[in-house]
Chain A
Amino acid sequence: MSRDPLRVIQTSVTQSPVIKTDQPPSEPAKQKGRFRPALLLHEDHDLCPGCGEPIAIRLMLEVIEELGQAQNSIGVIGIGCYTAFTSSMDVDLVQALHGRAPSVATGAKRMRPDSLIFTLQGDGDMVNEGLQEVIHTAARGESVTCILLNNGVFGETGGHMTATTVLGQRTKNSIEGRDADYHGYPILIGDLLAQLGGTVYAARGSVHDAAGVVKTKNMLRRAFESQLEGGGFSFVEILTMCPTGWFVPTAEGPGYLDNVLGAVHATGELKNHERLVTTAQLLAETRPSGP
């Protein structure tokens, strides 16, 4: 990775005074952002430094709050590193088995059609273990929102190949990089889901930089809104950093996401009601010169 902003900053502004940041400013100021979203009980978690999942979880909780759904939401949580957040997310939750969250969400939604029902799953959970679950749920047009945190590895086991691992990506069980002849190809789950009749909204966002975070939050908002409108299935895939599972320094996580995962799983809206866009089209638009 080429960028090393840390060193640049330290050499150029070493003479600047360091501003005290241990408490709120004494000068008159408006608070614009808080440590944690209202629907998070506490900030502590044991996820690795540089992990993208807490960033995505913040967005999800903020959107639930902003849509006025805090007292009307049921989350169905898969098994992965993000599962640790079930002890701190202040939303009614159901813990599902690995891969099975979309069916659990289906049963809950059918009994509580007016509740906002969402799943939170990783790529190992949704695209490996439970691929049929999410496809069938989308095809049935269940008015639930499935949220995929896609980092292209089994993070919790320490960096193993998943069904979304991109070609060439090194994992602990594809040590020379994912080889199409030997390991097969990654699944672009967003495309699979977008083309199903029951899907009204599908998008792929990323949390590798602030702009991506803002765009991803809008995707989550549109997905939840489309569920509340009752139209059908909605899906948001969020590319998240996993420096531990990628074997890169934390500071290189965003670049790795953008250059490796993002070059295959391109970000953008894949379906918004009638409008259908493929990942290939997104790639052509956003990376005309190729990965």
Chain B
Amino acid sequence: MTRRLMEGSEAMVEAAIAAGCRFFAGYPMTPFTEVLEHFAAKLPEVGGVCINAESELEAVGMAWGALATGARAATGSTGQGLALMQESFSEMTRAELPLVVFHMARGQGDYFQATRGGGHGDYRHIVLAPENVHEGVALTQLAFELADRWRNPVQIYGDYLLAHTAEAVVIPTSDQPERPPKDWAVDGSLGGSGRSRNLNPLGMEKGTKGIEPEPFWKRLQAKHDEIAKTETRCDTESTDDADVVVVAFGSMARFARHAVRELRKDGARVGLVRPITLWPFPTDALAEACEGVKRVAVLEQNGGQMIDDVRLSILGRAPVDPIGGISSDAAGFGIGPIFNPDNVRERIRGALEGREVAA
């Protein structure tokens, strides 16, 4: 396997195709656009299809149809485009479709959108947040695996930096995990048999009149509880003796890691917890890593979103303070002055010294 220099968008598209993704539909939007471009260029080479959808509403609908036939399929956008897809996301969760969503966000202000969603009803998505291109490749392939395993949408939460940073990566093409059989998928073959399928988000069964929503919704809830128990992923570094634990995800964690390592060299007792799954949030791992700390410092590039989940994990056992904040370039694409190693290091140092850190 050869190592190639690729920007995150291209590497993740290569990873998706290697994982068997054969359908993509999307609508251009910075910084997601290159994901669409690479799918458009590469999918036809493997007999797949990439449709330049006329809107995000249609893009997610097309992915819905492709998924219904059992294909591995994906869509994506940035936060604004994903806002348009929310109704489909919630209903596809109830229809138990293994959708993979490439979310190249304009920063981290879409944490709530990714982890709570704006669709209706009780539903949950697995959300994976890669720190770098290498992990973007791994989590892309994991996303398809988890989507199939749980028959549930999985979102990959990236950003401008992930999409456009070029790194030398290897795309694993062989040894892909075996896929579960998709006997639920529609192929038309059961028409007239009395056992034809109805792939629907309403809990409707063939041969019975009406719906029974409550048992259907409870079954989905039980599945989501099981996902929360088994699929939590978290990365911790230098937390054993830490006075301050920094919590950060995605690209922000990359800066936090660099700063934590530099501060450690200076003898500062500081550690890092990086949620890899934003949902299910690694509540237990975070609480354990933060046992006995003086302070938990949340570094996120927004007005304070993940900090809610951190506080729900720490439950008052230590002060939880924001050290990030809204930080954007002029275009709002998410590369603000906060993405600066010195800046991040000083914010963490402030947390170590018990100072209030201006967001």
Contacts and interface: CB of A to CB of B under 8 A. Distances in A.
Interface of A: 38-39, 41-42, 44-46, 64-65, 69-74, 76, 84, 86-97, 100-112, 115-116, 132-133, 136
A44 B65 contact: no
B80 interface: no
Contacts of A108: 65-66, 68-69, 186
Contact of A112 (B69, B196, B199, B200): B69
Nearest to B90: A97
B87 interface: yes
A116 B192 CA distance: 14
Contacts of A46: 209-210
Query: What are the nearest 6 A-B pairs in CB distance?
Result: A107-B65, A103-B61, A95-B200, A107-B66, A108-B65, A104-B65
Nearest to A65: B192
B140 interface: no
B192 A104 contact: no
Interface stretch (B46-54, B101-109, B262-270, B325-333): B46-54
Interface residues of B, number: 51
A100 B61 contact: yes
A104 B196 CA distance: 18
A103 B65 CA distance: 7
B208 interface: yes
A107 B68 contact: yes
Nearest to A93: B198
B193 A90 contact: yes
Contacts of B62: 103-104, 106-107, 110
B66 to A, nearest CB: 4
Interface of chain A: mostly helix, strand, loop or mixed: mixed
B116 to A, nearest CB: 20
Given A111-B22, A111-B23, A111-B49, A90 B205 contact: no
B187 interface: yes
A109 B65 contact: yes
Nearest to B95: A95
B31 to A, nearest CB: 24
Contacts of B73: 107, 111
Contacts of A96: 61, 64
Contacts of A42: 207
B61 A97 contact: yes
Contacts of B54: 132, 136
B88 interface: yes
B8 to A, nearest CB: 26
A112 B67 contact: no
B23 A112 contact: no
A94 B61 contact: no
A72 B186 CA distance: 10
10 contacts: A91-B192, A92-B189, A93-B186, A97-B61, A97-B88, A104-B62, A104-B64, A107-B23, A107-B63, A107-B64
Given A90-B196, A97-B87, A108-B68, A74 B57 contact: no
A92 B190 contact: yes
Contacts of A132: 54-55, 57-58
Contact of A106 (B51, B187, B188): B51
Contacts, number: 171
Contact of A90 (B23, B91, B206, B208): B206
Nearest to A95: B200
A126 B72 CA distance: 27
A71 B189 contact: yes
B209 A87 contact: yes
A87 B197 contact: no
Interface of chain B: mostly helix, strand, loop or mixed: loop
B24 to A, nearest CB: 10
Contact of A107 (B61, B208, B209): B61
A107 B25 contact: yes
B188 A100 contact: no
A210 B199 CA distance: 34
B10 to A, nearest CB: 23
A96 B186 CA distance: 14
Contacts of B51: 106-107, 110
Contacts of A65: 192
B138 interface: no
A33 to B, nearest CB: 18
A95 B205 CA distance: 12
A143 B196 CA distance: 23
B85 to A, nearest CB: 11
A132 B61 CA distance: 12
B191 A103 contact: no
A87 B68 contact: no
A215 B315 CA distance: 69
A95 B65 contact: no
Given A92-B189, A93-B197, A103 B64 contact: yes
Contacts of B65: 76, 94, 103-111
A115 B22 contact: no
B359 interface: no
Contact of B58 (A41, A84, A103, A115): A103
Contacts of A105: 65
A136 B206 CA distance: 31
Given A41-B194, A88-B207, A103-B53, A71 B188 contact: yes
Given A100-B61, A107-B65, A108-B186, A95 B196 contact: no
B273 to A, nearest CB: 38
B202 interface: yes
Contacts of A90: 191-194, 196, 206
B204 interface: yes
A115 B201 CA distance: 23
Interface in B192-239: 192-194, 196-202, 204-210
